[in-house]
Structure 1
Amino acid sequence: MQHDHTGMWMPDEPPTWARLFIPRLDGWSVLAVVSVVLLVAYLVGVARLHRSGVRWPWWRTGSWVLGCLTLFFATGTGFNGYGMAVFSVHMAQHMVLSMVSPIFLLCGSPITLALRSLPRGKGTAGVPRALLLEALHSRFARFLSHPAFTVPLFLVSLYGVYFTPIFDDLMANPLGHQFMLAHFLVTGLLFFGPILGQDPWPRTVGYPGRMLELLIPVPFHAFFGVSIMMADSLVVQTFAHPPASWGIDVLGDQGSAGAIAWSFAELPTVVVLAVVFFAWANSDERRGRRLDRAAERDADAELAAYNARLKALAAQEH
């Protein structure tokens, strides 16, 4: 194990599955530390709810834990160092941070948990909750959650990063690398947040609109992966010279990176589509039960009034 002058761990042996998943924390493991902080804060919120007698769904807690774990493994293990030297490892990092971690984190409903567990009131204790509500209702938040912003941002994180000099510029130092990884994570959260709709969100849209918003980038994402997979020259220069002792075929590894990107255009999309579809079905079922209960309470007064209007119209015609 070695570190460069910046304090970042740099691999001195070729990547293996075991080395990829060994924890490697250094001065640049910012997102890994964030994942631990997020996990602890969430569990504290769940504990506060339980103490107040409010039950929190176990599957939401499990989803959040998985989200934090995937975030940690993508940024606090060998993936972080090897992602600076091997294209396929970097692409796996990218896909996990933009399409796996965000889905798990969002299904944990962290905003709902925060609103329920944070203290209410107008005093100092109630400030964090008030600030969160103010942020959710701000114009800036509505702009960030609009598909005219989130969909292009999601696509720019593919084409605008890898097919321009931006990628090589950012990968030239650990700070740029960490900024890029954070960008991938935030882009995924902003894109999938309004689609999943598991939390109060600045912008709400119907279920058909969510499905359309989800499916728009799919062909672009798939074409991105195929274009990298089929390229006969290096797309980026950062990974052009891995250590010779590793025996890596850079074009072959680039093809693997493209295959990873292409495959991630399918499975996470199907998972999110299923979540949205079942949420849609459950909402219709809940609406039906609500209407049935209302009909029982008022003895179908709404239906009776509707029939009376039809009779009145028929009488007027005659």
Structure 2
Amino acid sequence: MSGHPGGHGDADGLPWDVLLPAVGVALVAAGYLLLAARARRLNPRAGWSRWRTGWFLAGCGLLAAGLLPPVAPWAHGDFRGHMAQHLLIGMYAPLGLVLGAPVTLLLRNLPPEHGRRLTAVLRSRVAHVAAHPVVALLTGVGTLVALYFTPLYDTLSAGGAHGLLHAHFLLAGCLFAHAVAGPEPAPGRWSVPRRLVVLGVAIAAHALVSQALYGGWGTSVRAPVDEVRGGAELMYYGGDIAELLLAGALVATWRPRRTPAGVRPAGARGAQSTPESEAYTTTLSA
């Protein structure tokens, strides 16, 4: 977004819009590492996957890259920087964060009674709707349409509401990544083919939005044409890469339930049996 001056600094002159995101991301990463170490200590046999830890830390790194210099100042003055920031915060970072299975890690560290309460919230109707692939898709695509095809982008630029927009991008990205390829259980989890269809629709929608931006068809972004076209190209190619990574994660995390021959698996069709689902089961039965 353009025209946003740097934030006021602290006593040493460090801008708050640099200090606060850096501290926030560092605290999240440190908290995850502490919980992972505690999970290994509490249950050495089960441990905690270092791959999960690596994914989560990678997500934190990508989030920090989107919120801190040099990307953040670039985003404030150039639409191409805004789009790079959107990709990092809303598409790449969420994939790493979701693959880190933070809810499962939290459940392994909570006392049983608190774990049951959290699981009840996660299985509530509200969570069911929020985690639905179509809802997650509409949330993400609808934001892009509202942002670039109405005066909303320029309004937010003038109002300096970047933090709210970043939070929305991150939350929407995490919901979509979880709905499509999340390793953790979700209410009414769709089968892999159906989730691939949703991902295909998302790819097509991002392509249409980026092409409309490039051609200037119905868009309301007030920025130089070369910046808008450059941002559209970043959305087109960068979005494709992010969605291909999401498709790879979906296939890689798919674990069909294994049952003896002739025995029909319990629950919905296409159910998965994973270490993450076992954590939920253990919490409920404790």
Q: Deviations over 1:254-281 (max 9, x none)?
A: 211000000123112112212222333x
State the distance in 1 between where 2:72 and 2:247 align.
30
Q: Deviations over 1:122-157 (max 9, x none)?
A: xxxxx3x34421220111111111234211111112
Distance change >3 Å, CA 232–CA 268, structure 1 → 2: closer
Query: How far is the alpha carbon of 1:168 from its aligned partner?
Result: 1.1
Matches within 5 A, 1:232-247: 235-237=220-222, 240=223
Distance change >3 Å, CA 257–CA 72, structure 1 → 2: same
Secondary structure of the structure 2 residue equivalent to 1:215: helix
Whether the 8 Å contact between 1:25 and 1:77 is mirrored in structure 2 is: no
Q: Which amino acid aligns with 2:69?
A: T
Structure with the greater alpha carbon radius of gyration: 1
Partner of 1:197: 182
Q: What is the aligned counterpart of 2:152 among 160, 166, 180?
A: 166
Whether the 8 Å contact between 1:39 and 1:68 is mirrored in structure 2 is: yes
Partner of 1:7: 8
Distance change >3 Å, CA 201–CA 31, structure 1 → 2: farther
Whether the 8 Å contact between 1:67 and 1:100 is mirrored in structure 2 is: yes
What residue ranges of structure 2 are gaps of 5+ in the alignment? 264-286
Matches within 5 A, 1:210-225: 210-225=195-210
Q: Which amino acid aligns with 1:254?
A: V
State the distance in 1 between where 2:130 and 2:34 align.
28
Q: Deviations over 1:46-83 (max 9, x none)?
A: 11012121321111100000000111111122322221
Q: What is the aligned counterpart of 2:109 among 96, 117, 125?
A: 117
Query: Does residue 145 of structure 1 match 2:131?
Result: yes
Whether the 8 Å contact between 1:145 and 1:203 is mirrored in structure 2 is: no
Query: Does residue 185 of structure 1 match 2:177?
Result: no
Q: Deviations over 1:68-116 (max 9, x none)?
A: 0111111122322221111000100011111100101001011111111
State the distance in 1 between where 2:156 and 2:236 align.
23
Q: CA RMSD in A?
A: 2.6
State the distance in 2 between where 1:204 and 1:55 align.
26
Distance change >3 Å, CA 168–CA 144, structure 1 → 2: same
Partner of 2:141: 155
Partner of 2:29: 39
Whether the 8 Å contact between 2:181 and 2:250 is mirrored in structure 1 is: yes
Secondary structure of the structure 2 residue equivalent to 1:38: helix
State the distance in 2 between where 1:135 and 1:8 align.
39
Secondary structure of the structure 1 residue equivalent to 2:183: coil
Query: How far is the alpha carbon of 1:235 from its aligned partner?
Result: 4.0
Larger RCO (CA within 8 A; separation ≥ 6): 2
Distance change >3 Å, CA 203–CA 172, structure 1 → 2: farther
Whether the 8 Å contact between 1:46 and 1:113 is mirrored in structure 2 is: yes
Identity of aligned residues (%): 27
Query: Does residue 135 of structure 1 match 2:104?
Result: no
Question: Size of the alignment, in residue pairs?
Answer: 255
Whether the 8 Å contact between 2:56 and 2:100 is mirrored in structure 1 is: yes
Q: Deviations over 1:164-211 (max 9, x none)?
A: 11111111133x111111111111111111211311223411111111
Secondary structure of the structure 2 residue equivalent to 1:261: helix
Partner of 1:104: 96
What residue ranges of structure 1 are gaps of 5+ in the alignment? 10-23, 122-126, 241-249, 295-318
Secondary structure of the structure 2 residue equivalent to 1:291: coil
Partner of 2:39: 49
State the distance in 2 between where 1:166 and 1:93 align.
17
Q: Which amino acid aligns with 1:49?
A: A
State the distance in 1 between where 2:219 and 2:197 align.
34
